[in-house]
Each structure stands twice: as C-alpha cells, then as structure tokens.
Amino acid sequence: MLDLRFVRENPEIVKQNIRNKFQDAKLPLVDEVIELDARSRSAKAEADNLRADRNKISKQIGALMGQGRKEEAESLKQKVNQDSARLAELEEQEKDLQEKIKKIMMTIPNIIDPSVPIGKDDSENVEVQKYGEPVVPDFEIPYHTDIMERFNGIDLDSARRVAGNGFYYLMGDIARLHSAVISYARDFMINRGFTYCVPPFMIRSDVVTGVMSFAEMDAMMYKIEGEDLYLIGTSEHSMIGKFIDTIIPEEKLPQTLTSYSPCFRKEKGAHGLEERGVYRIHQFEKQEMIVVCRPEESPMWFDKLWQNTVDLFRSMDIPVRTLECCSGDLADLKVKSVDVEAWSPRQKKYFEVGSCSNLGDAQARRLKIRVNGADGKYFAHTLNNTVVAPPRMLIAFLENNLQADGSVRIPEVLRPYMGGMTEIR
C-alpha cells in the first residue's frame, strides 16, 4: 500500500505506474482517492476546530457560572450542544471517508522498481541467466507421475476418492525423497544464517489483507467457515504476519527466517497436461525464506535470496535459470520479482520452481511493521523467496536424475537424508 501523501503529491507518477502494469481501469481511482482525502482532511480540520472551541467555551461556562451569570452560561451551553451534534456528524463522515480511502489504497498497485521490464504478462518476462548445462538424455523420460508409479511412490486414485482432484498420496522412497529435500533445504538455509521456524498454518483476515492483494486472496485462500481464519497459501503469510503491529529496534535488523509449512491453494486457472500430477495441486509442503530489513538493504537481500535458491538446486545437479518478471506479471504489492525455473529434460524447457519478491514497505505499511531508528520510526522492507516446494521440485529432480535403466540417482548432498542411499531402484 502506498503512502497517501505520496499519491497526493505525485498523482502522475502513480498513474504512469498503473499504465506500466496495464491496469488502466484503476486510473480513475487516483483522482477519486485524492478527492476523498481532501474531504477527509477538511472534515478533520473542522472537527478539530470544534473540539478546540468546545474546550474554550467550557472554561467560559465555568467562569460565568462562578460569577452567577447563569443566563449567559446557558446560552453558551446551547452552542456547545449544537457544536456537539455537528462534531458527531463530522466524526461519522470522517470514519466513512477513511474506510473508502483505505479500500481504494489497498487496490492501487505499489510503485515498481525502475529496473523492471515493461510487459503485459509472464510471456514477456526476461531471462537473466542460466546456471548449469541443460541436458536431454538419449533415452525417453516418462511423465513424472509415471516415474513415481514405477516405484509405487504415488497414489492419485485413492487421493481422488478421499479428497478429490488436486491431492495425492506419496509413498515409500518417493515420500522419503520428498521429506529428504525439505530437511536438506532447512539445513541449507540454517547454514546460511537463517533462523528456522515452524509458523501457524492458519491466519486471521487482517494478516491476509496485510500480506497480499484482494485479487490474490480470492484466487488462492481457503477460508475456515464460521471463523476469522484462513489456511495459509505459503508460510510467508504467517512469517510476515509475525511482525504485525510491532516496532523493531533498528539494531535487531535484519530479521532472516526460514520456515517450513504445508500450503493450501485453490489454484484457479489452467490445468492442462503439463499441470497434472503434482505440478498444480491444492496441498503441498514448502520451505520458505523471508527477510525484514532496512529499506536501503532490501536490494542487496533480494539478490541474496534468489541466489540461495539457485545454489540449492545446483547442489542437487539440477540446471536452472532466472527470469526477471515484467510489470504486468507482478502482483500489486511487489516492487520487483525474479522467478527461478528448473530444466525439464522431458519437456525440453524450463518451468517455475520458485519466486523471489521484494515488496518494499507495502506489507509493512499495511501491517504496521515499524523500525525504531536513530532518526525516528519508519516502515521496514519485507522480502520473501521459495527455498523449495518439493512436489513441483520433485518433477525436476526425477527428470534430471533419472538413469537409462529406470533408477533415480541420489545426489551426494541428499544421501545423508536418505539413509545413505545412492539411488532409488
């Protein structure tokens, strides 16, 4: 959420940013919120004057009563009563205007970083760099669920009967591999100085609206019926929410946390062949990383975060690339975002396995996450990135480590988490 004063003083910058995100339907909101703000400030000024007059008149009434001048005192009391009615009217008006302003401000997108490429959607994202040599072996690579089924490692039919489409049972060595990747990712991030955390898996609505846009909320979140609770779509939601309405001493920054959680998502949208199996599902597990830091440090942390994911995948011999997300592909709260994509030898192309985002002070402003610095209080910057989400990551792992005889090689870094196994047969 932007600073209202910034919008008031820089309407053209805000409008151009909306155009850059190809959200022209939101352009009238800028003038509307400025007009509402002017009315709100006018109502507040009048209300403040009435309160000041009331205090002044109250003292006069006391003095007049003390002098026995009851008639004059009664006359002033009538004025106080009239002013009180007007004050109540103004306070209600002010409250109504503030609610309208907040609703609009929650839909005006954050100002994107100048380095973000301008484009309408993810088809215009820009490749930054490739890491590792993408290889297509000289033997056929089956679809990922077929690979898993060869090891009796997945049961989609039973899951469908129990919970419906978009769920799965992982079994045996495939389930063990799933847990091994999560455990390795946890230790990988701890070794990079991050504090490990297991957060709540449900959050209240004020946290949901603090960490994401209304459009994302509608597309992703499952609500618990009859409760002010939502199932998290990623542990970032809980982890950023951890700091809601707090003032952090500047010397305690940066806060660098890595968190494990199950994730629950509606996953509206395309469900073609390549998004079946465990690619696009309603429930999965993930290791996440988040940073709360000073504004001037957020670009540095942004680069560190996506590099962590690249390094993790490369340590398991999986080729990856980074993509700079274009303006039209950025969620409204994001300042800048880079996707990490893994190589799929079967599809002969890369696919997304993680996303790194710098949200500037947007989440901090909504959640009132402030920093107590030497020169006063200011809003922190927040960042998040996927360490690894094993169901989708397993696709890349199995395809890149499949051997000609149908076995799957276990990279050296994962062997301690797989009981010393060097391959799955």
- The residue extents of the domains of the chain are 4-105, 122-424
Determine whether domain 4-105 maps to CATH 1.10.287.40. Answer: yes
Which has more confidence, 414 or 217?
414
> β-strand 283-293 against 349-358: which pairing, if any?
unpaired
Nearest partner of 390 among 348, 329, 342, judged by Cα: 342
State if pTM tops 0.95: no
pLDDT band at 270 (very low <50, low <70, confident <90, very high): very low
The predicted structure's pLDDT at residue 215: 76
- Please name the residue that has the structure tokens 């004020």: 206
SS3 state at 138? coil
For residue 157, what are the contacts with CB-CB under 8 A and spacing of at least 6?
A: none
Query: Does residue 74 have a pLDDT over 70?
Result: no
Round to whole Å and give the CA distance between 156 and 110.
40
Cis previous bond, 114, omega within 30: no
Which has more confidence, 257 or 269?
257
Nearest partner of 149 among 120, 169, 164, 133, judged by Cα: 169
pLDDT band at 64 (very low <50, low <70, confident <90, very high): low
The predicted structure's pLDDT at residue 401: 96
The predicted structure's pLDDT at residue 67: 72
Token digits of residue 115: 């380095």
The domain made up of 122-424 has a fold known as BirA Bifunctional Protein; domain 2 (3.30.930)
∠ CA(202), CA(205), CA(209), 5° rounding? 115
The predicted structure's pLDDT at residue 315: 96
The predicted structure's pLDDT at residue 219: 81
Query: Does residue 417 have a pLDDT over 70?
Result: yes
The answer for 115, left when phi > 0, alpha when psi is -120 to 50, beta otherwise, is alpha
Round to whole Å and give the CA distance between 297 and 218.
32
Nearest partner of 40 among 81, 5, 80, 83, judged by Cα: 5
Beta strands, E only, 215-335: 222-223, 230-231, 246-249, 255-264, 283-293, 320-324
Nearest partner of 279 among 135, 118, 399, judged by Cα: 399
Do the Cβ atoms of 247 and 271 come closer than 8 Å? no
Query: Does residue 58 have a pLDDT over 80?
Result: no
SS3 state at 197? strand
List, for residues 358-385, the tens digit of each pLDDT value.
999 999 999 999 999 999 999 999 999 9
Tell me the HSE value of 242 on the side-chain side, using a 13 A CA sphere. 20
